[in-house]
C-alpha cells in the first residue's frame, strides 16, 4: 500500500468516530474522504510534505489516494481512503491533526490550491476477500440496504461471489457497511484488479455468470444501487 498522508478530516473538525470497540466492531475501519481536486500534483506534494514531518511519521493509518475515473454525477475527482486497524489508531489520528502545526500548514496549502471536500463516510468490511491492497483498479458500487436486510444481502453476495470464483478469475472483492456518513448510501461493494482491462474482464465474466442472475433476483427488493464508480489508485 502506498503511504500518502490525508488529513482533510480536520477540515470537517471531526471527533473520534469510533470512541471504543464496545459495539463489537474490532476493525479495521475504512474512512473515505471525497474531494474535488483541480491540481492532483499539488495535492500530492502537500501530502508528502506533511508525511515527511514528525507528525506525519506518527500518523497511524495506511492511506491511499484514488482517482475516480468515472463516477456519475458525483462532483469529486478523487477520494482518500484511510485504513485504521482499531479505534485507538483513529482517535490518535484525529488528535495529531488537532495539535500539529504541520497539519495546519497542510490544510492552508490545499485550501489555497482550491481543493474542495464533497463527501465523507466511515465504516468496516462485512466481507473482505483476497487483500484489496494488492490491486490498483476497482469497480465500486454504493448501495442502500435496510438494516433488517443486511445479513440476507451479505449472504447472497458471498454465495454469488463464491460461485463465480469457482468458474472465473476473481481478485479482491468485498462488502463494506457505512457506520457514519449514511446520508447517501449505507454500504459499498468493491471488485479489484491489476489493470482496467483486467477489471473489465472480471466484471463482464461475473455479470454473465448464472450465479449473478440468481443474485440479482434474490436481492432486487432489498437493495438499491445509488452509484457505481471506476477507481484507480
Mean pLDDT of all residues in the chain?
Answer: 89
d(CA 206, CA 201): 8
pLDDT band at 27 (very low <50, low <70, confident <90, very high): confident
Percent with pLDDT over 90 in the chain: 81
d(CA 177, CA 115): 27
pLDDT computed for residue 97 by the predictor: 83
What is the mean predicted confidence (pLDDT) over 205-229?
A: 97
- Do 188 and 140 contact (CB within 8 A), yes or no? yes
- Do 181 and 120 contact (CB within 8 A), yes or no? yes
Same fold, 8-122 and 130-232: yes
pLDDT band at 9 (very low <50, low <70, confident <90, very high): very low
Tens digit of each residue's pLDDT (9 = 90 or more) over 87-142:
999 999 988 888 888 988 888 899 999 999 999 999 999 999 999 999 999 999 99
Residue ranges per structural domain of the chain: 8-122, 130-232
| pLDDT above 70 (res 12) | no
Grouping H, G, I as helix, E, B as strand and the rest as coil, residue 8 is helix
The more confident residue out of 71 and 10 is: 71
pTM score, whole prediction: 0.86
pLDDT computed for residue 136 by the predictor: 97
pLDDT band at 11 (very low <50, low <70, confident <90, very high): very low
pLDDT computed for residue 124 by the predictor: 96
Q: In CATH, what number does 130-232 get?
A: 3.30.70.100
pLDDT computed for residue 205 by the predictor: 96
pLDDT computed for residue 107 by the predictor: 83
What is the mean predicted confidence (pLDDT) over 198-221?
A: 97
| pLDDT above 60 (res 19) | no
Question: Looking at domain 8-122, which CATH architecture does it have?
Answer: 2-Layer Sandwich (3.30)
pLDDT computed for residue 128 by the predictor: 95
pLDDT computed for residue 167 by the predictor: 94
Write down the H helix ranges in the chain.
Answer: 40-51, 54-57, 87-99, 101-112, 150-167, 196-207, 210-219
| pLDDT above 60 (res 24) | no
The more confident residue out of 198 and 63 is: 198
Amino acid at each position: 500500500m502506498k503511504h500518502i498522508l490525508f488529513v482533510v478530516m480536520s477540515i470537517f473538525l471531526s471527533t473520534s468516530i469510533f470512541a471504543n470497540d464496545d459495539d463489537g466492531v474490532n476493525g479495521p475501519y475504512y474512512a473515505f474522504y471525497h474531494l474535488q481536486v483541480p491540481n492532483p500534483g499539488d495535492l500530492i506534494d502537500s501530502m508528502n510534505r506533511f508525511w515527511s514531518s514528525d507528525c506525519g511519521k506518527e500518523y497511524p493509518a495506511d492511506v491511499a489516494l484514488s482517482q475516480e475515473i468515472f463516477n456519475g454525477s458525483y462532483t469529486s475527482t478523487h477520494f482518500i481512503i484511510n485504513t485504521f486497524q482499531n479505534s485507538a489508531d483513529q482517535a490518535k489520528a484525529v488528535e495529531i491533526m488537532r495539535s500539529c502545526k504541520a497539519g495546519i500548514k497542510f490544510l492552508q496549502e490545499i485550501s489555497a490550491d482550491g481543493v474542495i471536500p464533497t463527501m465523507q463516510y466511515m465504516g468496516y468490511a462485512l466481507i473482505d476477500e483476497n487483500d484489496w491492497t494488492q490491486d490498483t483498479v476497482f469497480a465500486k458500487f454504493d448501495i442502500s440496504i435496510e438494516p433488517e436486510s443486511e445479513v440476507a444481502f451479505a449472504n447472497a453476495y458471498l454465495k454469488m461471489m463464491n460461485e463465480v470464483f469457482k468458474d472465473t478469475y476473481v481478485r479482491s472483492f468485498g462488502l463494506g457497511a457505512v457506520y457514519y456518513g449514511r446520508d447517501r448510501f449505507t454500504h459499498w461493494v468493491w471488485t479489484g484488479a491489476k489493470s482496467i482491462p483486467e477489471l473489465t474482464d472480471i466484471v463482464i465474466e461475473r455479470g454473465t455468470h448464472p450465479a449473478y442472475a440468481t443474485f440479482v433476483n434474490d436481492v432486487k427488493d432489498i437493495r438499491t444501487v445509488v452509484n457505481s464508480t471506476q477507481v484507480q489508485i
